[in-house]
Amino acid sequence: MSVIAVVDYDMGNLHSVCKGLENVGAVPKITDSPAIIEQADAVVLPGVGSFDPAMQHLRSRNLIEPIKSAIASGKPFLGICLGLQILFESSEEGTEPGLGIIKGTVRRFRSEPGLTIPHMGWNQLEFTQDLPLWQNLPAEPWVYFVHSYYVDPVDLEVRSAMVTHGSQNVTAAIAKDNLMAVQFHPEKSSSTGLQMLSNFVMQVREKVVA
């Protein structure tokens, strides 16, 4: 049975992510152990909250290098919400440097008449890459968002889905090699989100068999 390490750095939504993974037949293991992250077949980096505390908590638990090593190793890696944002170099939300795995900045939504910040609730994705993560999903599926900041990658080729909030069309998901990360919450996105998690788990199993 494939083991998926769910990184614990005191930034929320661990148990809902684990329940979602369990519902699709995975064995998630909540951990802040570099050794377990290294040994796991895949890694999920969830997160809810602010950029600077997230990076400070990762640093205090000596998790920055293990996360970078896990991504470099080629094992399937999924970032969720804040776990997407901290993969970038910096954020307008704070002053801490991010992990710098993906070149680019995390930006705040621009204020405009009638726009609600944070962007919270259900919205539709526009896929820009054909990914295994998107298999067996409807076109432009509805998923659940809660965020005031969005990622702005330098290399637009990493964008795998977009979302429109007000007049702003922003990156909702990225993918590069074994790395996938989403701004929305699959674990809160009903059957669509469970399908995404199931697709991720299938990728993990195929990688282990290979």
163 Cα distance to chain centroid:
15
Name the residue among 140, 102, 142 with its Cα closest to residue 122.
142
Check if the beta carbon of residue 102 is closer than 8 Å to that of residue 88. Answer: yes
Please confirm, yes or no, whether 81 is among the known catalytic residues: yes
Please confirm, yes or no, whether 185 is among the known catalytic residues: yes
**The pair of three-digit structure tokens given for residue 23, joined into one six-digit string:** 């519902």
| Catalytic member of 38, 65, 185, 206 | 185
Q: What is the CB neighbour count within 10 angstroms for residue 20?
A: 24
Classify each residue of 41-79 as buried b or exposed e, where b means 16 or more C-beta atoms within 10 Å of its C-beta: bbbbbbbbebbbbbbebbeebebbebbeebbeeebbbbb
| Catalytic member of 18, 81, 119, 165 | 81
* Residues involved in catalysis: 81, 185, 187
